[in-house]
């Protein structure tokens, strides 16, 4: 499966994402500088009517002191799960581009406060027939936390 930027997904590549269960990763491209912005590019309110924007200092600390004061050394900024990858990625892209009538997906919304977030990359991993996407996501988040002493930038808990 090919990787796509959010910009490419918004401009039609979403049609290439299957409607199967799996996990998806939001990745930082090579030579991409992670910088936090004051405001989100996505919807201003979450699906619960709360502000979507996170505290800039909190997000900046997550970038600068990733885990136990280690520098940010991963290109993974979010790991998510979906019973229907196409629908979930559509919701995620819809949140970024403020597309009405899509149930917004609030998970991982911190990435919309990164500069040039439309250039971030989405990679999917379909589940095997006997695999549960929740279990796979949990496993990947635990592995990530064991390696980096923290969850990815836009994941707050498993």
List the pLDDT tens digit at each of the 158 positions of the chain. 789 999 999 999 999 999 999 999 999 998 888 889 999 998 888 888 889 999 999 898 887 644 344 455 688 999 999 999 999 999 999 989 988 777 667 888 999 999 999 999 999 999 998 999 999 999 999 999 898 888 899 998 64
Question: pTM for the whole thing?
Answer: 0.91
Whole-number pLDDT of residue 37: 95
Q: Domain for residue 54, yes or no? A: yes
Q: Domain for residue 21, yes or no? A: yes
Whole-number pLDDT of residue 67: 39
Residue 64: how many other CB atoms lie within 10 Å: 12
Q: Positive or negative CA dihedral for 46, 37, 7, 72?
A: negative
Q: Are 151 and 36 contacting, i.e. CB atoms less than 8 angstroms apart?
A: no
Q: For residue 30, with 0-12 CB atoms within 10 Å meaning exposed, 13-18 middle and 19 or more buried, which class applies?
A: exposed
- Provide the CA 109 distance to its chain's centre, in angstroms: 7
Q: Domain for residue 157, yes or no? A: no
Whole-number pLDDT of residue 112: 95
State the residue range of the domain holding 88: 4-148
Question: d(Cα 38, Cα 100) in Å, to the nearest integer?
Answer: 23
Q: Domain for residue 153, yes or no? A: no
Task: Report how many domains make up the chain.
Answer: 1
Whole-number pLDDT of residue 65: 45
Q: Domain for residue 158, yes or no? A: no
Residue 128: how many other CB atoms lie within 10 Å: 10
Whole-number pLDDT of residue 47: 82
Q: Domain for residue 66, yes or no? A: yes
Q: Domain for residue 121, yes or no? A: yes
């Amino acid at each position: 499966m090919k990787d796509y930027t959010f910009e490419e997904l918004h401009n039609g590549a979403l049609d290439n994402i299957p409607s199967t269960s799996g996990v998806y990763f939001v990745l930082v491209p090579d030579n991409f500088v992670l910088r936090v912005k004051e405001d989100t590019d996505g919807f201003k309110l979450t699906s619960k009517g709360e502000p979507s924007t996170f505290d800039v200092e909190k997000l900046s600390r997550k970038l600068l002191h990733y885990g136990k004061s280690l520098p940010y050394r991963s290109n993974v900024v979010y790991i998510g799960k979906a019973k229907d990858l196409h629908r979930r990625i559509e919701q995620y892209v819809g949140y970024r581009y403020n597309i009405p009538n899509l149930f917004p997906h609030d998970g991982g919304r911190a990435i919309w406060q990164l500069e040039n977030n439309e250039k971030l990359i989405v990679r999917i991993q379909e589940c095997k027939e006997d695999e549960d996407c929740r279990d796979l996501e949990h496993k990947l988040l635990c592995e990530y936390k064991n390696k980096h002493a923290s969850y990815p930038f836009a994941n707050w808990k498993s």
